[in-house]
Structure 1
């Protein structure tokens, strides 16, 4: 990734519009024709959103940076084969999700950021006892996510942590919105059951 703009994992980014999607396809067509500036512009348009997605899946800044950079490298290599059947953003998310899954599998668990760092970034004005409680809950959530099946973890991260709509999740996961709703229902119950067992 090549930008002077700072990347904020917690920043709220606007959803893509149809105009954005048209511009993405225009840039892809130019990049396929050999224009390096077009692909650079495409990276700049999507790097914050893709990094944020990877961070919320992997919970580790270095891993997220590497995964999002790798996604853009793979996308560039696959440019000649890209066909405008779906949004460019969906295509990039699919690549990033596969890379995040691979990294999580290799680690045998989710790569988790230190809970104290997450708690500090979430609420800097917390008192010591509040920060400790928040840190404990975040650490527990990370353990819970790591204990879920990959299908459950993916849909929870995308929908609940990354704020993607059911339609966006369906495109990335290559399934119907109804299937996304079913996965979310099962994932929430799976996480709730794990949470109760952990408390016991």
Structure 2
């Protein structure tokens, strides 16, 4: 079983530890992506926070077909473009 699928299932059940594990797993990658595109650490941190906020806000509609990271990158990319 895909480890992300298990985390997603647990997050949908309200498991705070799964949410924390998910953020720990992907936060550094998304932060690096945002900082690279925005060229400013504070802006990158803000957009990274918003990326995760939007992901969790739409978690009940999220369908895991592959890597959750891909979905996070799509959200982050859109937010970076909006920010710029």
TM range, normalised to the smaller chain? over 0.9
In 2, the alpha carbon distance for the partners of 1:101 and 1:37 equals: 31
Q: Secondary structure at the match of 1:83?
A: coil
Aligned CA-pair RMSD: 1.1
Q: Which residue of 1 aligns with 2:5?
A: 25
Could you say which residue in structure 1 is the equivalent of 2:20? 40
Task: Give the ranges of 4+ consecutive aligned residues of structure 1 lying more than 6 Å apart after TM superposition.
Answer: none
Pick from 36, 41, 57: which aligns with 1:77? 57
The alignment's TM-score, normalised by the length of structure 2, stands at 0.95
Give the length in aligned residue pairs.
84
Greater RCO, 1 or 2 (C-alpha within 8 Å, sep 6+): 2
CA shift, 1:66, in A, is 0.3
**1:37-76 superposed Cα distances (whole Å, 9 cap, x missing partner):** 1011100000000000001100000000000011001101
In structure 1, list runs of 5 or more residues that go unmatched: 1-18, 105-200
Partner of 1:52: 32
Measure, in 2, the Cα distance between the counterparts of 1:64 and 1:44.
Answer: 16
Distance 1:39 1:28 in 2: 8
Whether 2:80 is the aligned partner of 1:103: answer no
Distance 1:25 1:97 in 2: 23
TM-score for the superposition, normalised by structure 1: 0.41
Q: Name the one with the larger helix percent.
A: 2
Higher Cα radius of gyration: 1
| Deviation per residue, 1:91-123 (Å, 9 max, x gap) | 10011011101000xxxxxxxxxxxxxxxxxxx
